[in-house]
Amino acid sequence: MNRTLDPSRRSWLESANPGSTDFPIQNLPFGVFRRAGAHGPGTIGVAIGDQVLDVAGCRRERLLVSLPEHVRQACLESTLNVMMALPRAEVTALRERLSDLLAAGTAQSPHRERVSRLLTPQAEAEMLLPCVIGDYTDFYASMDHAANVGRLFRPDNPLLPNYRWVPIGYHGRASSIVVSGTAVRRPVGQVRPQGAESPRVEASARLDYELEVGCFVGRGNPLGRSIPIEEADGHVFGLCLLNDWSARDVQQWEYQPLGPFLAKSFATTISPWVVTLDALEPFRVAAAARADTDPQPLPYLDSAANRGRGGIDLKLVVGIRTAKMREAGRPVSWMTQSEFARMYWTFAQMLAHHASNGCNLRTGDLIASGTVSGPSERERGCLLELTAGGTVPLGLDGGETRTFLEDGDEIVIRGFCERQGAVRIGFGECRGTILPAERPAIRRQGGPPAAHPLTVTS
């Protein structure tokens, strides 16, 4: 561990000290921002307390002169891609320098006034996507989720035969990944209602969220060359929160034989801050233990390091704030609390498997964990599980119920790590509000296509 993780370290910025923030000086997650109302490209920053430190500004103010020139140049980019591709040791050195500039009682205190001028309140910052995301792959790494969903359709055999042997995933759509706070329009798709002989095109009536964690690839691998599991952590830049919005009625009709397509590709929401592996080091834990009756991972998916420290003790919560709650001034109604450490497959195993056939992962690629669920009812990471496929309405604070999402519903995901002897760190929020659907464009004779909003309630 490096000095940025010292639990006794404090910042001269009071809002960055433990007990009041997701972003103490031990965290320092990276993101891309611009001042609210501004236009043009973003600037690389780190979250510190309730502020954003302008990392590019630190470079321009010559506060990073101890770092190699190519590291300083990476700080001037408008996305994190160049920084993500740096060796982990160089990102660690950058974090150490930023931490020293923000720490109380260090030799850098003469720089405090200059650093203060480079702070922007988070409330005045517009967060952008942290990097250019070239590819996006979504896994299915929670056995609890796979079993919970499987029981809805195959009560006697919920898990398919390959689940315990291979990390299951599908290639998603990178172009529709949006940053937290972006509204999501209810998708229109082809569905076949129960009992109908033929499908029809309509707004999804079974819109769902999925509680997930995202992993950003740092250093990629050449085409044709695999990533040994022992080296997988060296290809990870950091993690974020992720909501894999899902149209369950579209999914049910289209997914055979090739899996998810339009039911998933309309939107995926991520949190804006990327928490580095450095910041997560105090919260690394053993990979989830397998049942005695389960097979052990095949050799390319197994290592002593992964068994001992492949998991991350990350706690996740999901809540909903309906339109009625907002009108009444009521807070978020929390529905789920789940634990990422329970995942059957670790991110190291997902990356090693993804590249095992020679697939080239590239800097900025996003790997999602799949829905994070647990065995108990309140650990289930989507409404499909919480409502038993829409048959058991979920009660919310204030008396409302939901089977699936209604227009105006806002989903809020939060995540945090804490353990004795370490400072609690958080991921911020991953938020998205559902807008009404639009009808498919119908071309009028002599005129342009017309689109009309559709309002759907579950």
The DSSP-derived string for 5-32 is G-TT--BSSGGGSTTS-S--TTT--EEE
Give the DSSP per-residue string, 446-457.
TS-EE--EE---
Q: How far apart are the first and last CA of the chain?
A: 49
Give tens-digit pLDDT for 425-434: 999 999 999 9
Question: Residue 156 pairs with which residues in a beta bridge?
Answer: none
Strand-pair category, 246-247 with 268-270: unpaired
Check: CB of residue 98 under 8 Å from CB of residue 53: yes
φ, ψ at 420 (rounded to 5°): -65, 135
For residues 183 and 432, the answer to whether their CB atoms sit within 8 Å is yes
Q: What is the pLDDT of residue 109?
A: 64
b/e burial code for range 183-205 (CB count within 10 A of at least 16 → b): ebebbbbebeeeeeeeeeebbbb
Average pLDDT, consecutive stretches of 10 residues, N- to C-terminus, the chain (458 residues): 90 90 97 92 97 97 97 98 97 97 78 94 97 98 93 86 95 98 97 92 97 98 98 98 98 91 97 98 97 96 97 98 97 97 98 98 98 95 96 95 98 97 97 91 49 47
Catalytic site residues? 145
pLDDT of residue 326: 97
The pairing of strands 136-139 and 366-368 is parallel
pTM: 0.94
With CA atoms as reference, report the closest residue to 366 among 132, 183, 184, 126.
132
Residue 1 CB neighbour total at 10 angstroms: 9
Tokens linked to 101: 């500039």
